[in-house]
């Protein structure tokens, strides 16, 4: 309860503007004005730097489409075929291992 009383007392001692009009006074120190100007200047500088980068990117040549040579195609095809064959051999080995495991389980029964 004492805190509420203190709050009301504090509110009565602080003078706050009731309306904003022609006679309203705003006081800013030089440091605050300088920080505001520096912030706005930074934003403007970033905007112009970004616009310059965009203009430069528009002038750069478009990279040509990559051309796939016959040799590259054949090598890729050979690699895919070799991978399939290796996978097929692995599957055959796994099937043989599975048959051996099943046989051993049957022997244990």
Calpha distance 14→41 (Å, rounded): 35
Range of the domain at 79: 69-109
Q: Is residue 101 part of a domain?
A: yes
How many structural domains comprise the chain?
1
Q: Is residue 52 part of a domain?
A: no
Q: Is residue 47 part of a domain?
A: no
Q: Is residue 104 part of a domain?
A: yes
Q: Is residue 53 part of a domain?
A: no
**Tens of each residue's pLDDT in the chain, 109 residues:** 555 655 656 566 656 556 778 887 878 899 999 999 999 999 999 999 999 999 999 998 887 888 888 999 999 999 999 999 999 999 999 999 999 999 999 988 7
pLDDT for res 25 = 82
pLDDT for res 80 = 95
Q: Is residue 13 part of a domain?
A: no
pLDDT for res 12 = 60
Calpha distance 16→106 (Å, rounded): 93
Q: What is the pTM of this model?
A: 0.39
Q: Is residue 45 part of a domain?
A: no
Length of the chain: 109
């Amino acid at each position: 309860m004492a805190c509420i009383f203190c709050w009301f007392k504090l509110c009565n001692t602080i003078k706050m503007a009731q309306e904003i009009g022609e006679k309203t006074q705003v006081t800013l120190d030089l440091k605050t004005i300088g920080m505001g100007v520096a912030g706005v200047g930074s934003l403007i500088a970033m905007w112009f730097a970004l616009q310059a980068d965009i203009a430069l990117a528009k002038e750069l040549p478009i990279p040509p489409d990559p051309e796939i040579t016959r040799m590259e195609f054949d090598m890729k095809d050979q690699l895919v075929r070799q991978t399939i064959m290796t996978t097929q051999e692995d599957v055959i080995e796994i099937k043989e291992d599975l048959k051996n495991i099943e046989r051993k389980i049957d022997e244990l029964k």
